[in-house]
A and B are shown apart, each in its own frame.
Chain A
């Protein structure tokens, strides 16, 4: 493969047209690099054949970590390291520790999941994104097709995109 990546970009104006196009174009055997949209479209990820995100699992595991850390912290501090006699009640009294255990769970689950999301999608303040078209974040839906990964020619792809409702077909080299 050459260093330069050559992309064919199909620009769409409408989400329904795009959804049908994604389905039909994939059916014709074209490998789609990625579809860029101004807003989340329900079902687009399934249409593109993406697997379900495993972020819920990450959230669960981080949440469990938070719960155990919070509980361990409270039991070890109040129960063993420096027990305090408060009205003769048990030193490590689990019912009283539930609120903070809950907060610890939520805190770890939320931050752990968001951290995983940022890492997986490489979302950082210093990220240098590849912007195929500046109108993506406004009102255009762009389907990017990597020319080197497809057996079709530029003209064939352009024709496929146009016949599936693309209003423009552009090229971009990276």
Chain B
């Protein structure tokens, strides 16, 4: 039924019909897990178990298991937290901002990107819980009455803002993701043959029938959720950056942080979406849905955000000198030439130089190159957070308290835990839920309407 326009190239290739879309996406949900999936899932669970052992050591023996000291009180924990929250931002950007801008190519990747957001935010939250030291009183940042053990929380503190921002972000993203999935779950329900999947997908699809009135409400809800999520996603990383920016630590106390963090978040998030989508499209044979055009478009966004991040790094350096503040200047010179020079220059190479390669069309359209650069970008973005956090802390105002941070095996283990958690959840999602939004794909199959003659419906079947 796909009717191709001579003017606009199709978003979905391979001349798919509506029924082909249903079959292609539902196939992996309905079939038995294949050996590759089982192997990948098994490895993730193994990684998660090793990680959980390290989480257990952190909780049982305390934060002393980590390499922190009196000078460097935040290191891998907050680095990993900011890194994962940043990665999460791309999902909301793709589903909300690109919806508002009517970018129809987003339909192939929004489902997986939103899932990635939710899992990444969960990983981020796990670091917040671990770094509290006493997670059993983890409810203290909530505004609970004094009889629960603490006073009312201090609403002037960005750390409290963060609690509200992250929990709102997680719950609103979850709702947005689920609403989009209801029509697709009903497709699986209507195709289900086994009793268990009939009951499970029947309950999960909330009795969706596809009536025009429901679609009209669904569209309203999606549009408003997109409108709400757009400022929300910007607020989340703004507030994360304020955890640093409202302090008086040289290297943190800068007004450039909110936009610089948001750009960095989109940058790393798109890189992570690319890494995951390149694997997913190969494993589930979705090459007609996630095409080279999609990859190229995302690479262009990576050039843009990567350049914004690059400009931010240079601006920071310039302002450190231009402000005339001795401590600020020292902090930046120390970042580039001090004991953490290797982290600084890894960050510069990975984030500022590597994405510039995408100016070359051949690289931007190459799957292998995109995959490698997307991984490099995320390594660079991890170093960025490490540099900001550790290099600003490790030499404070009194030279006698200068110190270094050395990660312990438990630090590494808790980081590995987040990968285990992320991939376990992602593989479960990709097996049991539709990885591509079928309903939205079907709505963009026709590149052009009104070219089908109304009376002669038999010609519609011509491919």
Closest approach, in angstroms, between the C-beta of B403 and any C-beta of chain A?
Answer: 28
Closest approach, in angstroms, between the C-beta of A130 and any C-beta of chain B?
Answer: 7
Q: Are B207 and A128 within 8 A (Cβ)?
A: yes
Does more than half of chain B's interface fall in helix, strand or loop, or is it mixed?
helix
Closest approach, in angstroms, between the C-beta of B155 and any C-beta of chain A?
Answer: 5
Bound-complex Cα distance A87 to B461 (A): 74
Bound-complex Cα distance A167 to B156 (A): 65
Q: Does B442 contact A (CB under 8 A)?
A: yes
Bound-complex Cα distance A49 to B457 (A): 25
Binds B, one of A1-9, A40-48, A151-159: A40-48
Which chain B residues border A16 with CB–CB below 8 Å? 449-450, 452, 454
Bound-complex Cα distance A136 to B187 (A): 8
- Tell me which of A17, A44, A96, A106 contacts B156 (CB under 8 A): A96
Q: Which residue of A lies closest to B216 (CB)?
A: A45
A131-146 near B? 1/0 per residue, CB < 8 Å: 1101111110000000
Bound-complex Cα distance A160 to B187 (A): 29
B125-154 near A? 1/0 per residue, CB < 8 Å: 000000000000000000100100001111
A54-97 near B? 1/0 per residue, CB < 8 Å: 01100100000000000001100110011010100100010011
Q: Are B190 and A131 within 8 A (Cβ)?
A: yes
Q: Are A40 and B439 within 8 A (Cβ)?
A: yes
Q: Are B209 and A130 within 8 A (Cβ)?
A: yes
Q: Does B161 contact A (CB under 8 A)?
A: yes
Which chain A residues border B304 with CB–CB below 8 Å? none
Closest approach, in angstroms, between the C-beta of A108 and any C-beta of chain B?
Answer: 10
Closest approach, in angstroms, between the C-beta of B95 and any C-beta of chain A?
Answer: 13
Bound-complex Cα distance A67 to B402 (A): 45
Q: Are B206 and A127 within 8 A (Cβ)?
A: yes
B195-207 near A? 1/0 per residue, CB < 8 Å: 0000000011011
Bound-complex Cα distance A132 to B210 (A): 10
Near A by CB (< 8 A), chain B positions 147-178 give 151-156, 158, 160-161, 164-165, 168, 171-172, 175-176
Near B by CB (< 8 A), chain A positions 101-132 give 102-104, 106-107, 109-111, 113-114, 117-118, 120-132
Q: Does A171 contact B (CB under 8 A)?
A: no
- Tell me which of A13, A39, A106, A134 contacts B1 (CB under 8 A): A13
Which chain B residues border A107 with CB–CB below 8 Å? 168, 171-172
Which chain B residues border A124 with CB–CB below 8 Å? 206-207
Which chain A residues border B35 with CB–CB below 8 Å? none
Bound-complex Cα distance A44 to B208 (A): 18
Bound-complex Cα distance A129 to B198 (A): 13
Question: How many chain B residues touch the partner (CB < 8 A)?
Answer: 71
Bound-complex Cα distance A135 to B452 (A): 22
Given A14-B452, A125-B204, A138-B191, A102:B210 Cβ within 8 A: no
Closest approach, in angstroms, between the C-beta of B360 and any C-beta of chain A?
Answer: 37
Q: Does B316 contact A (CB under 8 A)?
A: no
Q: Are A110 and B1 within 8 A (Cβ)?
A: no
Bound-complex Cα distance A104 to B232 (A): 11
Q: Does B367 contact A (CB under 8 A)?
A: no
Q: Are A106 and B212 within 8 A (Cβ)?
A: no
A17-38 near B? 1/0 per residue, CB < 8 Å: 1001000000000000011111
Which chain A residues border B183 with CB–CB below 8 Å? 38-39, 137
Q: Does B219 contact A (CB under 8 A)?
A: yes
- Tell me which of A36, A100, A129, A134 contacts B164 (CB under 8 A): A100
Q: Are B22 and A110 within 8 A (Cβ)?
A: no
- Tell me which of A13, A34, A41, A102 contacts B213 (CB under 8 A): A34
Binds A, one of B50-58, B223-231, B295-303, B325-333: B223-231
Q: Does B443 contact A (CB under 8 A)?
A: yes
Bound-complex Cα distance A134 to B209 (A): 9
Bound-complex Cα distance A138 to B164 (A): 40
Q: Which residue of A lies closest to B218 (CB)?
A: A40
Q: Are B224 and A40 within 8 A (Cβ)?
A: no
Q: Does B235 contact A (CB under 8 A)?
A: yes
Bound-complex Cα distance A34 to B209 (A): 11
**Interface CB pairs A-B, < 8 A, 8:** A34-B212, A35-B212, A37-B215, A82-B146, A99-B239, A110-B172, A114-B225, A136-B209
Listed in ascending order, the chain A residues whose CB lies under 8 Å from chain B are 13-17, 20, 34-41, 44-45, 48, 50, 53, 55-56, 59, 73-74, 77-78, 81-82, 84, 86, 89, 93, 96-97, 99-100, 102-104, 106-107, 109-111, 113-114, 117-118, 120-132, 134-139, 165, 167
Listed in ascending order, the chain B residues whose CB lies under 8 Å from chain A are 1, 17-19, 22, 143, 146, 151-156, 158, 160-161, 164-165, 168, 171-172, 175-176, 179, 182-183, 186-187, 189-191, 203-204, 206-221, 224-225, 228-229, 231-232, 235, 239, 242, 439-440, 442-443, 446, 449-450, 452, 454-455, 457, 460-461
